[in-house]
Structure 1
Amino acid sequence: MAKPKYETSGPLKNHFYILDWPGSEPDPDDTLTTHFQKVTKVSRLATAYFDCELVKVGFKKADKPFDVLQYFRDAFRHMRDDDMLVIYYEGGAADCDKDYEWQFENGPKRPVNAYDLIQLFYDSGLNIMLILDCYIPTRFEEKWNVRSDGKGNVEIIARGERVQTAKGKAIQGHRSDFTDNMIKDLKTFVNDIEKPGRDGGYGGYHAPMSLSQLMRSNTFLAANPKRIFDRKTKAKDTVPIARIVILPDEVRASKRISWFLKTIQDEPKIVEDGEDGNATVKAIVEDEGFDEPMDEDFDGSVAGASEGDGLFCTPPPV
């Protein structure tokens, strides 16, 4: 099977958002919650290793779910179409009838409808990646509309291990290692970008790589991360499919991570027009393949690494 043709655009202005940031530092005598530890670690990662604007987003218990949506509406008004947003969320999540809700630890007190928030991300026309250390449904409801002008791209990288039930209850004996392994993998990628492949480095990698591909090489991860992306489809729509990736050569040059948009030029389109004329979205949850290097140089370093067909293969029917 021939590899899809692609091109990458950028560098885009990167914004890294951490949702549900604690309102204040905990008392030294208090036991730190898992949530506080994780968001603090991710903040340190972004500060030291990302080329981005770091934004810590916190709400109060008295705030309403509407305030979360309004916060992003206001933020989007000050952004350009070519801005890139990466949004990290760790916390409670559960099915509620046909909806999917997030329960913030620090506020609002009432859960946020995650479907409404994701729809807002589509409406923005921006390029957005969500990194979710929380429960996600196996199949997402088909209730999102994409912009008819083809602007914007939304995708989700989510933990693969199941540590909560669909009702948001913790499963005894299960604890997520998604965030800790993501931090480890991204640090290693930057620090070992010049190390030869024979020594466990990334010296021969040049092709664009998604976060889920990078994490799939981690044998200590309890379960492979899921990559969730829309199937943007509309009659006579010629807008190419796009993915959010890291470019190894850019990491070599800057020693920091930036996110880029990889545009797939020959991805087949499937028409799914809604009754109102808008394109509907079918979101697929799938594992993403990770190619081993195809060639080995005489000195043992790897070359020619690229994305596997697993990302672009026809997904199972929804």
Structure 2
Amino acid sequence: MSRLLVTGGAGFIGSNFVHYVLANTDHTVTVLDKLTYAGNRASLAGLPEDRFELVVGDIQDAELVDGLVASHDAVVHYAAESHNDNSLNDPRPFLDTNIIGTYVLIEAARKHNTRFHHISTDEVYGDLELDDPNKFTSETPYNPSSPYSSTKAGSDLLVRAWVRSFGLQATISNCSNNYGPYQHVEKFIPRQITNVLRGERPKLYGTGENVRDWIHANDHSSAVLTILEKGVIGETYLIGADGEKNNKDVVEMILEGLGQPRDAYDHVNDRPGHDLRYAIDSSRLRNELGWEPQFSNFEAGLADTIAWYRENEAWWAPEKDATEAKYKSQGQ
């Protein structure tokens, strides 16, 4: 699997994976990315030209996809519309990219018998009560609550059906909430960090009690590479780093990490259908494939992320004003 095709590799999680692969393996990487607002050429700057190529295109373009899949040993499918707020305002792009785009890719992978790994999310499982002792496992029934999570659930089921019906050489991973470098400022953690860096107050949905199971993007990348190399075809692996924190605590930790009072934030209107809690049981990935996260301490990973945004304002500043204007129009 020396030649990897990474869809959505100019986005947040995909670009982190590309950096990780090129730094830690001998693989070559081709990124296929449409370069929508969430894709950024700057996230791929400085990569070795002899081992990396960017192809600008749409995963719904069957002719383009077929040619690329035919010339690669494996496909790692990150490309997705992924922002919940956007899915509530305009669901259609989520159907086009997450469902139709995935269909085009798995048809090409089936045709060329190409190894395929599908990146998904823990949000397909719905949410847990705050006091529920259980966590999501690969056996948890799907119960998506937004256009985003429902289209990701649909894409997962397509992959599973193609494995069973057509022998697609595929694995799936469902990961908890990522944080780290190159994440768009519309997302929760970078929005709060960049607000503070600009002298503005962070914004907290509702009371901030919603819990997310945070994982650093580098740890997600190492897990995906482990599954690609060692995973059993047809299986689903959950990726998590035991990083459960509620949103209020995260905002207060960001403020503290940037030398501000812990209560210097504003409450804004809660998101419709806002899931209460996500929690991942990643024991199968750890026990069967031997994976362990590097950033097992969320505070250390958050400090690393704060430092990156502090040092890379030129990367995030161009999108900041437009993002905040959009949120303001929505009362958030």
TM-score by length of 1: 0.34
TM-score (norm 2): 0.33
Question: Of Structure 1 and Structure 2, which has the larger fraction of its residues in helix?
Answer: 2
Structure 1 or 2: more strand by fraction:
1
